[in-house]
Structure 1
């Protein structure tokens, strides 16, 4: 028993696309975009990725976490359509991120300087100990 099914995809109204055959194929919704001649403002930035980086890697005094909080607030305001609030929270997040980055870089530089001066001081102490051992005759090997 061989049965086949065929589907007719032709329109039943004789090829008309709407109320009449001359109707356009595109929608006739009114244009709601920006008016001609006015510059389109980009949406305010929220700096979430930068805040996440600072939270995980450079969280000096929990400022990275605070930057992340303000970034999320800026993103929420942007979603709600409050561009002024989003811009304000975004600027705060940016300032906190810059502060965290500068403080983290200063801390890294300070640690490098302290380690370098500690290594030099340790080297001088070892040399002084060897010199004292030679000068005062402390020869433990003989």
Structure 2
């Protein structure tokens, strides 16, 4: 007959052998600096800004290109390639700035052209009214 297996317990608490009068373990541990594996500041990917530019300010498809580079930067960051993520992030930032400036320029240009068009139409309407008024006054209508 087989007997039931005996439970085994392990203590997960740190064991300091010196406190109990025993010698230190035959191995030594070296502290590992956490800053070497994980940089203090991760590179930015600008996904939110790129989404905004893609949805609202997509001048010359720069918002779309910024979104593509933002996703590439995020992928590189997930993989652990910090330099690649920083490079793609910088490109996304530059494209976002260009899309924003170009869109602002287009809006200002549209407002200027609209305002000058309205002024030109008002002047043309006033001129036509004066010409037709003279015509109607001469013909008695």
Q: Scaled by the length of structure 2, what TM-score is found? A: 0.72
- Structure 1 runs of 4+ with >6 Å offset: none
CA distance in 1, matches of 2:132, 2:67: 58
CA distance in 2, matches of 1:18, 1:95: 55
CA distance in 2, matches of 1:140, 1:56: 58
Can you give the 5+ residue segments of structure 2 that lack an aligned partner in the other structure? Answer: 1-8, 15-30
| Equivalent in the alignment of 1:105 | 104
State the Cα distance separating 1:58 from its structure 2 match.
Answer: 0.9
Tell me the matched-pair count.
119
| Equivalent in the alignment of 1:116 | 115
CA distance in 2, matches of 1:104, 1:33: 43
| Equivalent in the alignment of 1:66 | 65
Tell me: CA distance 1:34–1:133, structure 2 relative to 1, closer, same or farther (3 Å): same
| Equivalent in the alignment of 2:20 | none
CA distance in 2, matches of 1:115, 1:138: 34
CA distance in 2, matches of 1:114, 1:42: 46
State the Cα distance separating 1:17 from its structure 2 match.
Answer: 8.2
Larger helix percent: 2
Can you give the 5+ residue segments of structure 1 that lack an aligned partner in the other structure? Answer: 1-15, 25-29
Q: 1:102-133 CA distances to partner (integer Å, 9 max, x unpaired)?
A: 00000000000000000000000110011112
| Equivalent in the alignment of 1:53 | 52
Q: 1:23-66 CA distances to partner (integer Å, 9 max, x unpaired)?
A: 45xxxxx665237xxxx631000000000011111111111111
Contact 1:51–1:93 (CA<8 Å) still a contact in 2?
Answer: yes
Q: Scaled by the length of structure 1, what TM-score is found? A: 0.72
